[in-house]
Amino acid sequence: MLRDASLEFPGFSREQNDEVRRWLATLADDGELSVFDHRSVQAKIDGIVAGLPPGVRVEPESGSTRIWIGSGLTIAGLLLLSGFAWRWRRNRRTGY
């Protein structure tokens, strides 16, 4: 499943993406990824990124960007959850 997944990292060549995909598939053969597996995949990706030319590297978002993204996702999740709760409550009252 993971060997055929569409896994694309910005700035990575096809071979580098395939390398990460194969490594991930090998670690996930037992059906799950442990914390150590996650760290191993991240180390593989970091190693490839370190070898990329500076103009090709995708720099990580700043802390404030991550906070805004996290806040936005949290708000969207809460809105979705409240919508489901409202609908469930309404359907429970009307007997549907």
- At residue 78, does pLDDT exceed 60? yes
Domain boundaries, the chain: 1-59, 62-96
Task: Tell me the backbone φ, ψ of residue 67, rounded to 5 degrees.
Answer: -65, -45
Asked if 71 contacts 61 with a C-beta cutoff of 8 angstroms, the reply is no
pLDDT per residue as tens digits for the range 39-56: 888 888 888 888 877 766
CA angle 77–80–81, rounded 5-degree value: 85
Amino acid at 69: I
For 56-62, the CB contacts below 8 A with 24+ separation are: 56/11, 57/11, 58/9, 58/10, 58/11
pTM of the model: 0.48
What pLDDT does residue 38 have? Answer: 82
Amino acid at 65: T
Asked if 6 contacts 24 with a C-beta cutoff of 8 angstroms, the reply is no
- At residue 72, does pLDDT exceed 50? yes
Q: Give the pLDDT mean for 66-71.
A: 76
Residue 1 binned pLDDT confidence (cut-offs 50, 70, 90): very low
3-state helix, strand, coil in the chain (%, to 5): 70, 0, 30
